[in-house]
Structure 1
Amino acid sequence: MDNVRTVSDTKRNFYTHHTRPINSIYRRVVEELMVEMHLLSVNVNFNYDPVYALGVVTSFDRFMLGYKPEQDKESIFNALCRSVEGDPGQYRHDAEQLKGLAERLSVDQLVSWNTALGSVDGGQMLYDCFKAIAFNPNFKYSRLFAIGLYTLLEGADPDLVNNEEQRNSTLQTIGESLKLPVEKMKQDLALYQENLEKMEQAKSVLEDVLSSDRKQRQQRLLEKTKPQEQEEQQPTDSASEEKDSADS
């Protein structure tokens, strides 16, 4: 019997691929996402699919927006996928494919996926994904899948996702056709939006703190250099006084 990979194993695997420290509030984001992906990856009913990949990529990109140094983000994302024995290239590729497809689709086509997607250029991948889910009684639903589905709707009609009534009605219809736990999905997406807002607030507070810290350091440096400037000025003043005395 194979040993099931533990959370500690996954974290250790992550930090072998990304060796640099992760900054402040973003560390919690990365570790929570890592644990969520880990728990799914060791579940016997879980299967990777493109909508899940879109949810992972969207979550990472939105919560890590503004991370510095910018060049570390790719390393962190790659380590995140590899920590659960996934392929970061596949995650990115599948997510980009679906995002591009969503921009060419209408919400009605997404809702009527079982009859509409087959005739859309590039729609076969999503059709196959949805069909496999709808006919799988053991499909492992996840919050990240819900975020992927939400991102598809957002790409098809950005205004719809901002209208709570229309958004929930559409999620209800799609969720029922895919046999998803609709109420759970709505709650997960509401929490996702709430956490995005909290992250923005936290980053704003952090930036204020960093800005205040920079100003204090500059002020201390200025106060430290003032006595030195005065000391350097004194010999010049004394020399001037001696010259004036000699001239007298």
Structure 2
Amino acid sequence: MAAGIGVRSAMPAPRLVALPARAIVQVRAAAFKPATVAETKAKFLEAYKKPIPSIYNAVVQELLVQMHFIRYSIHYEYSEVMALGFVSVYDQIMESLPEEERGAIFAAYVGALNEDAAKFREDASKMEQQASALPGPDALTPDASGTDLQKALARCSERAASGVFAYNKFVAIGLFRLLELTGAKEPAALEKLVKAVGVKPEAVNKDLMLYKGILSKLSAAKELMKEFLIREKRKQAEREAEKAAKAEKEKAGAVPAAA
């Protein structure tokens, strides 16, 4: 019996074989059960029941669908750079709304995607503060042992190098925003940062052009809405003046003639 035990203890321990990246993705895909677009929309409407002004509603719904597909991509992983990009887009689009309403819609929006709205805000603010403190765009580099900002860029770079980085337009906008905060204005600075992170410059440029197009259309829509409201205010004032004049005339006609 002792001999049997001795033989057994001398046997080599089984080796742990590392799964290749493709196999890991296949395992993840097998257990991947993302929410549907309808479920995400329903969750948003449940969290924010008030009607959203028509000028914003179409854009909000479009962004929600886009963000849904990003959020439920098989390679999705939260990124501070993406959070900065999304917060930047949201704030520019919704800037005319009252702060309380803007915050409530944001919380409902991010919550509908099963993400933490407070974390989005906190990380975006942190990225902005650290980028603003840099001496220039050259200091905006991935560094796993650097600042929180540099570590965030390094995580993006590492995932891109491994082939599992889920690039999206909000990452592009986040990178662009970081450069803005360092005072960079040259296209070469954007290309340098994009390459350092491991993203294709062509994809970033395309997404930034689409982003600027959305802001341009929204700006034009806001101007039309502003003109419409001015006209409506003028018409309302005219109606009230006419009503007051009519009431005054009727009042004067009702006064009995003096004896």
Q: TM-score range by the shorter chain?
A: 0.7 to 0.9
| More moved, 125-134 vs 196-205 | 125-134
1:217 corresponds, among 213, 231, 236, to 236
Which has the larger share of helix? 1
* 1:29 aligned onto 2:59: yes
* 1:47 aligned onto 2:65: no
1:204 corresponds, among 216, 223, 243, to 223
Aligned to 1:239: 257
Aligned to 1:245: none
Q: Distance in 2 between matches of 1:19 and 1:125?
A: 38
1:86 corresponds, among 91, 98, 115, to 115
* 1:74 aligned onto 2:106: no
SS of equivalent residue, structure 2 residue 43: helix
2:206 corresponds, among 169, 173, 187, to 187
2:197 corresponds, among 171, 178, 189, to 178
Identity %: 29
What is the count of residue pairs matched by the alignment? Answer: 228
Cα distance, 1:28 vs. partner?
A: 1.3
Structure 1: runs of 5 or more not aligned: 243-248
Cα distance, 1:123 vs. partner?
A: 4.1
Q: Distance in 1 between matches of 2:131 and 2:222?
A: 30
Instruction: Determine if contact 1:13/1:83 at 8 Å carries over to the other structure.
Output: yes
Cα distance, 1:208 vs. partner?
A: 0.4
How does the TM-score come out when normalised to structure 1? 0.85
- CA separation of 1:6 and 1:16: change in aligned 2, threshold 3 A: same
Instruction: Determine if contact 1:50/1:129 at 8 Å carries over to the other structure.
Output: no
Q: Distance in 2 between matches of 1:2 and 1:133?
A: 19
Q: Distance in 2 between matches of 1:197 and 1:2?
A: 37
SS of equivalent residue, structure 1 residue 135: helix
Q: Distance in 2 between matches of 1:123 and 1:17?
A: 32
Structure 2: runs of 5 or more not aligned: 1-30
Q: Distance in 1 between matches of 2:222 and 2:206?
A: 24
Instruction: Determine if contact 2:175/2:194 at 8 Å carries over to the other structure.
Output: no
Cα distance, 1:113 vs. partner?
A: 3.1
Q: Distance in 2 between matches of 1:119 and 1:129?
A: 12
2:161 corresponds, among 135, 138, 153, to 135
Q: Distance in 2 between matches of 1:150 and 1:124?
A: 15
Cα distance, 1:135 vs. partner?
A: 2.9
Q: Distance in 2 between matches of 1:99 and 1:32?
A: 26
Cα distance, 1:73 vs. partner?
A: 0.7
Q: What is the root-mean-square deviation of aligned Cα atoms in Å?
A: 1.9
Cα distance, 1:2 vs. partner?
A: 6.0
